[in-house]
Structure 1
Amino acid sequence: MSLQDRIQNVEKSIQAACARSGRNRSEVNIVAVTKYVSVDMTRSVLEEGILHVGENRPQNAIPKWEALHGQGTWHFIGHLQSRKVKDVVGKFKYIHSLDRISLAQELDKRAAAIGEEVLAFVQVNVSGESSKQGLVPAEVEDFLKEMQSYSHVKVIGLMTMAPIEEDPELTRPVFRGLRELRDELNAKAVTSEPLTELSMGMSGDFEVAIEEGATWVRLGTILVGKGEES
């Protein structure tokens, strides 16, 4: 199947999920997860009009970013070590994995040094799996209050990863839980501006995530196919 065919199929699925849940298609953004594909495929994705790309390892992403001359908007979607922040800030506009204050401090310091603002999602471990990173839901309110001290890191929403399930319907409580948490935090006016974004849903479960309110879906294989990085 060609890239164009995959994009068309994904688009149909997104439109159907929006229709089922009474949402506007414009509310849902695609991040093409290009971590397993080549520079050429990443370039093709951008040329097809999908302008948001996601990577999770700086050492693999930076050569792609340089080869593509910074085309597109780059999202860091993996666990980010503080010592790698210097490689990420200035290249990646979005960080989907903010999960500790020490990381916020380093992001803020680096962003301030170059006069930029980092847009961040707080990663929440809604499922409670020990294998997953992120804050437990009960920790998020205090974390967000502490984040008010960092003027160059703007928290725009929350991110979560659901368990891998054969039946995507089983992921629904996780996605619903993240949306409800966001809505509760907004009702309390925990942040100076409402949290508007939810980064949730991947190739196997993005339709359910959209039905539950996802504004960013992170799509790898179903969109870009399989391949080896080069």
Structure 2
Amino acid sequence: MLEQEEKALCGRLESVRRRLDDAVRASGRKQEDVTLVAVSKFHPAAAVEALARLAGHAVFGESYVQEAQEKQQALAGLALSWHFIGHVQSRKARDVAGRFALVHTVDSEKLACKLHQAVQPPDGEQPEGARTVQDVLVQVNIGCEPQKSGVAAGDGLLRLADAVAGMSGLRLRGLMCMPPLTCQGEEARPYFAQLRGLRDSLEQRLGMRLPHLSMGMSHDFEQAVAEGATLVRVGTDIFGERSPR
């Protein structure tokens, strides 16, 4: 990247960091309570490298398996934490499991089983250096939108959470959601509050701590933080508009 482009990129990251810090303080929480996931999909590895090298940012989110793998290989020398935040097709589970610090988008028992089998294969063909337990979040279709992935709140969520919690190859860490696109800023807040309530109920049901709520993006992460988000996913306000895939 050109030096001017790198400076602009780091400047946008710093602006988001300031907004996030303000939101965390306003909610009475600590900075370490909320992690900024820089969503780097459709942006080059050079941009990720610049943010890591110049701004010390280390947590990045990807949505497409092949693109993520290419960046992981290109940036293997950097100590980065990769999160998978896109829809995972069951046939791609083997390419995702064990290769990301956190998978945000488990939305079916079929996918959960595939991820579990990939990190703990019965045939002993475990890739060297791969994880044997994959941390995951269950994605909730909080707005009940037919075009979106995610399990419906209610019995579907309870069944999926029970199933994931019982798989030794997976570690359930919390929930993820995306409110309807038409609901931005304060309009998104009720959805974030609902997800927090679902998480709290699941903790009691399962008898285990679920520390993470992945919610909030460029246009509404302040509201998400106010409602308890621990992971906010910001792409456009850091990297700029994405080129068509």
TM over 0.5: yes
TM-score by length of 1: 0.92
What's the CA shift string for 1:178-202, capped at 9, x where partnerless?
00111122233x15x2111000011
Q: How does 1:32-181 map to 2 (within 5 A)?
A: 32-47=38-53, 48-69=55-76, 71=78, 72-113=80-121, 114=126, 116-138=132-154, 139-165=156-182, 167-181=184-198
Distance 1:182 1:68, change over 3 A: same
Unaligned runs of 5+ in 2: 1-6
**What displacement does 1:82 show?**
1.1
The answer to whether the 8 Å contact 1:38/1:229 transfers is: no
Structure 1 residue 229 displacement after superposition: 8.7
Identity percentage of aligned residues: 36
Which position in structure 1 is the counterpart of 2:3? none
Contact 1:36/1:226 (CA < 8 Å) preserved in 2?
Answer: no
Q: Distance in 1 between matches of 2:141 and 2:64?
A: 20
- Give the secondary structure class of the aligned counterpart of 1:201: coil
Q: What residue identity is the alignment partner of 2:61?
A: G
Whether the aligned pair in 1 keeps the contact of 2:177 and 2:214 (CA below 8 Å) is yes
1:106-146 CA distance string (max 9 Å, x none): 11111114352111000001111222111111022222112
| SS of 1:92 mapped into structure 2 | coil
Q: CA RMSD in A?
A: 1.8
The CA distance in 1 between the partners of 2:98 and 2:203, in whole Å, is 29
1:38/1:228 contact within 8 Å kept: no
Q: Which residue of 2 aligns with 1:19?
A: 25
More deviation in 202-211 or 14-23? 14-23
Question: Helix, strand or coil for the counterpart of 2:120?
Answer: helix
CA spacing shift, 1:216–1:167, aligned 2, 3 Å: closer
Amino acid in structure 1 at the alignment position of 2:134: V
What amino acid sits opposite 1:105 in the alignment? Answer: C
**Residues 117, 181 of structure 1: alpha-carbon distance in 2 compared, 3 angstrom cutoff:** same
The AA in structure 1 aligned to 2:49 is: R
Equivalent AA in structure 1 for residue 192 of structure 2: F
What is the TM-score with the length of structure 2 in the denominator? 0.87
Name the structure 1 match of 2:15.
Answer: 9
State the aligned residue count: 228
Partner Cα separation in structure 2 for residue 165 and residue 8 of structure 1: 27
Give unmatched runs, 5+ long, in structure 1: none
